[in-house]
Amino acid sequence: MDGFDVAVGAFGLSTTAALFALVHRDAIGQGISRPRLWAAIAAIPFLLGVGLYLFAPAPMTGVIMTANTGIVLYTFEREIASESDEDDGEPVEPGTLPNQK
């Protein structure tokens, strides 16, 4: 391993820890259940992507896809959790949108 690989590894470890902390804090703030699980779901694939970059002859697109998978999944969960159910109790008429009056 040369100096560049050590720097990438240090960056990967520190970014993984920061990603875990930020996702955990955001999940608590958004009221998402099991914030530690979601923090792990976001951080572990990123660390795996860094590991693939350093130790496996994987194509760069695969490394990027692996590293971003957890972050994307958490973003979808965050979007679902932040949706509000503005139901007036009235049934929706056929041919109209739910929020259309």
**HSE value, Cβ hemisphere, 13 Å, CA-based, for 84:** 4
Q: What's the pLDDT tens digit per position in 41-98?
A: 999 999 999 999 999 998 999 999 999 999 999 999 999 888 765 555 666 677 777 6
* 95 within domain boundaries: no
Q: Is residue 92 part of a domain?
A: no
Residue 22 CA to residue 43 CA, distance in Å, equals 10
| Residue 11 identity | F
pLDDT tens profile 30-46: 999 999 999 999 999 99
Q: Does residue 11 carry a pLDDT above 80?
A: yes
Largest CA distance in the chain: 66
Quote the domain boundaries for residue 77: 3-81
Residue 94, domain member (yes or no): no
Query: What share of the chain has pLDDT > 70, as a percent?
Result: 87
Binning the chain into helix, strand and coil, the percentages to the nearest 5 are 70, 0, 30
Q: What is the structure's pLDDT at 96?
A: 76
pLDDT recorded at residue 59:
93
For residue 91, being part of any structural domain is answered with: no
pLDDT at 1 over 80: no
36 part of a folded domain: yes
Question: What's the pLDDT score for residue 87?
Answer: 56
Tell whether 66 is covered by a domain. yes
Number of independent structural domains in the chain: 1
